[in-house]
Chains A and B, each alone.
Chain A
Amino acid sequence: MKELKLMKGNEAVAEAAIRAGCDGYFGYPITPQSEIMEYLMYQEPYKTTGMIVLQAESEVAAINMVYGGASCGKRVMTSSSSPGISLKQEGISYIAGAELPCLIVNVVRGGPGLGTIQPAQSDYFQSTKGGGHGDYRLLVLAPSSVQEMADFAGLGFELAFKYRNPVMILSDGVIGQMMEKVELAEQQPRFTEAEIRENTPWATMGKPNDKERNIITSLDLDSHKQERHVAHLRDKYLEMEENEVRYEEINCEDAEYLIVAYGSSARISQKAVELARAKGIKVGLFRPITLFPFPKKPLLAYTNRIKGILTVEMSLGQMIEDVKLAV
Chain B
Amino acid sequence: MSDITKEQIRQPENLVYTKTKLLTDKALSYCPGCGHGTAHRIVMEVIEELGAQDNTIGIAPVGCSVLAYEFMNIDMQQAAHGRAPAVATAVKRLLPDRYVFTYQGDGDLAAIGTAETIHACNRGENITIIFINNGIYGMTGGQMAPTTLPNMKASTCPYGRDVETMGNPLKMTELIAQLPGVHYVTRQAVHTPAGVRKTKKAIRKAFDLQKQEKGLTFVEIVSNCNSGWKMTPVQSNKWMEENMFPFYPLGDIKVDGQLIK
Q: Do chains A and B touch in the complex (CB under 8 A)?
A: yes
User: Hey, what's the 0/1 contact readout for B66-93 against A, CB within 8 Å counting as 1?
Assistant: 1101000111111110010011111101
Distance (Å) between the CB of B24 and the closest chain A CB? 9
Q: Could you say which residues of chain B place their CB within 8 Å of the CB of A60?
A: 83, 86, 115-116
Q: Could you say which residues of chain A place their CB within 8 Å of the CB of B78?
A: 98, 215-219
Task: Establish whether residues B90 and A205, one from each chain, have CB atoms under 8 Å apart when the complex forms.
Answer: no
* A37 contacts chain B at the CB level, 8 A cutoff: no
A213 and B93 in contact, given A67-B79, A219-B78 (Cβ under 8 angstroms): no
User: Hey, what's the 0/1 contact readout for A48-84 against B, CB within 8 Å counting as 1?
Assistant: 0000101011101110111111011010100000000
Q: Could you say which residues of chain B place their CB within 8 Å of the CB of A98?
A: 78
* B53 contacts chain A at the CB level, 8 A cutoff: yes
The count of residues in chain B whose C-beta lies closer than 8 Å to any C-beta of chain A is 33
Q: 7 tightest CB-CB pairs across the interface, nearest first?
A: A68-B87, A68-B90, A64-B83, A217-B78, A204-B75, A57-B119, A65-B90
The 8 Å CB contact of A213, one of B74, B88, B118, is: B74
Interface residues of B (CB under 8 A from A): 53-57, 59-60, 66-67, 69, 73-80, 83, 86-91, 93-95, 98, 115-116, 118-119
Nearest A residue to B29 via CB reads A221
The 8 Å CB contact of B95, one of A54, A64, A205, A209, is: A205
Task: Establish whether residues B89 and A54, one from each chain, have CB atoms under 8 Å apart when the complex forms.
Answer: yes
Task: Establish whether residues B88 and A217, one from each chain, have CB atoms under 8 Å apart when the complex forms.
Answer: no
* A208 contacts chain B at the CB level, 8 A cutoff: yes
Complex-state Cα separation, A86 to B100, whole angstroms: 29
Task: Establish whether residues B57 and A52, one from each chain, have CB atoms under 8 Å apart when the complex forms.
Answer: no
Q: Could you say which residues of chain A place their CB within 8 Å of the CB of B76?
A: 204, 213-217
Beyond contacts A57-B115, A64-B90: 10 other A-B pairs, Cβ-Cβ < 8 A, are A61-B116, A64-B79, A65-B89, A68-B88, A69-B94, A76-B90, A204-B75, A206-B74, A209-B53, A219-B67
* A23 contacts chain B at the CB level, 8 A cutoff: yes
Task: Establish whether residues B74 and A207, one from each chain, have CB atoms under 8 Å apart when the complex forms.
Answer: yes
A69 and B90 in contact, given A206-B56, A206-B75, A206-B98 (Cβ under 8 angstroms): yes
Complex-state Cα separation, A57 to B77, whole angstroms: 21
Complex-state Cα separation, A24 to B88, whole angstroms: 14
Task: Establish whether residues B87 and A67, one from each chain, have CB atoms under 8 Å apart when the complex forms.
Answer: yes
Complex-state Cα separation, A35 to B117, whole angstroms: 27
Distance (Å) between the CB of A245 and the closest chain B CB? 32
Q: Could you say which residues of chain B place their CB within 8 Å of the CB of A66?
A: 90
Q: Could you say which residues of chain B place their CB within 8 Å of the CB of A58?
A: 115
Q: List 27 A-B contacts (CB under 8 A).
A: A54-B90, A56-B119, A58-B115, A61-B83, A61-B89, A61-B115, A64-B79, A65-B86, A65-B90, A66-B90, A67-B79, A67-B87, A68-B91, A69-B91, A71-B91, A91-B83, A98-B78, A204-B91, A206-B75, A207-B53, A213-B75, A215-B75, A215-B77, A216-B77, A217-B60, A217-B69, A221-B67
Distance (Å) between the CB of A211 and the closest chain B CB? 9
A26 and B115 in contact, given A61-B83, A205-B95, A217-B69 (Cβ under 8 angstroms): no
